[in-house]
Structure 1
């Protein structure tokens, strides 16, 4: 296991799994530009390292995953600076959404505003029974700005997204279970173990099929059904040309024999 510390992030490597922890527990892990900058630096490193196969993102402490933007900093921005910061956050979360390796959000507490957007940008969400989700921005006379209006509509459905964004209410994990965006809800003390078990399961797979299958799923959500089928067929053919496909078939056929 390899540990390292940046100004706002902790990182940990265990075999092929890389965990990134937002380390501002005194601020409930609220984002600021430095967090976004360091997160992008870490993603650069993970993307280039072919031995890393799965990413886990979480927050430090027992109270919060991430509670969104640092409001003290955000309140000082002028409209131009606010736009630029929203675009920076959007680019970062879109990068996570399209990242070539699976990304798991390990939600240990409050996932609010930008924290909820971060979780939704990940491929999978494993949530503690103590986790809470919400978009409180409307209570501040503003709205989600890091992709929340788009990600929520795609992952929760239009009506649920409107309810959560327009009411600004908080929803505990057990209520969110029926919303469909959480993959697993686990006992709080088992959160890390259950998340690592899922990450290890993914890490056993060949990297390229994981990458191209994720891309096909994402594209299918953006395209019409016919175009999505066409993209899937092309993706299948590209993957079929790689040696790991023949190896996978041979392994299965030898086992059945």
Structure 2
């Protein structure tokens, strides 16, 4: 068996069916000196199914700082290391990018073996515009922080893609519907697996469905259509909300309410509330 050129190989693994792996990926996993993976139990099952015996090395967010120099040393010493995630393309919501950066800085060659990607799979199944999109990873757990993040994403003129926990899905969709309006969206779960499902509709309808149905099973990707071309500027929305809130609340309380409602940074909203209260608005 011919030895691989020393370096880091980013290998995409199946999201669902273990058979959905490329021949090139299997060949690389077989010929590598080591396979660095998030969870040795998960990758171990994949290796066993395909009869692969390459040693596994644990590499995840909790040990990454310690393992990176060790892996770099091995590769600089002439070894080939394959990096995989638990499912899909590595470096998407995992610490792999730090290892790539370390390799680049150390002069270690890096190559990628493309394959499954949950965000892209959800995007193409959603039926939403795919000519311009933004993958935003996981939204914050708490509603206040999540709404702030959505406020930052609101004006982005592109389709949005986010990961979400099944247990937080209904609350997250409710925040999306409140901040982003009735945009068309899709909730995709268990992609490429037996019970794959894609539910499409306006954000308010999807929020209502999952509030009634309860948390779905499996991993979830939410795809949200871009803002309408004639959407009003976000600043005008904030000013209108502040004008209404200032009629019944103090400046501080009005700013807090509008920041929570719109997702805009609280400090910026407070500064604008002071301007309006002093009569220096437009």
Give me the TM-score of the superposition, normalised by structure 1.
Answer: 0.27
Structure number with higher relative contact order (C-alpha < 8 Å, ≥ 6 residues apart): 2
Larger radius of gyration: 2
- Which one has the bigger helix percentage? 1
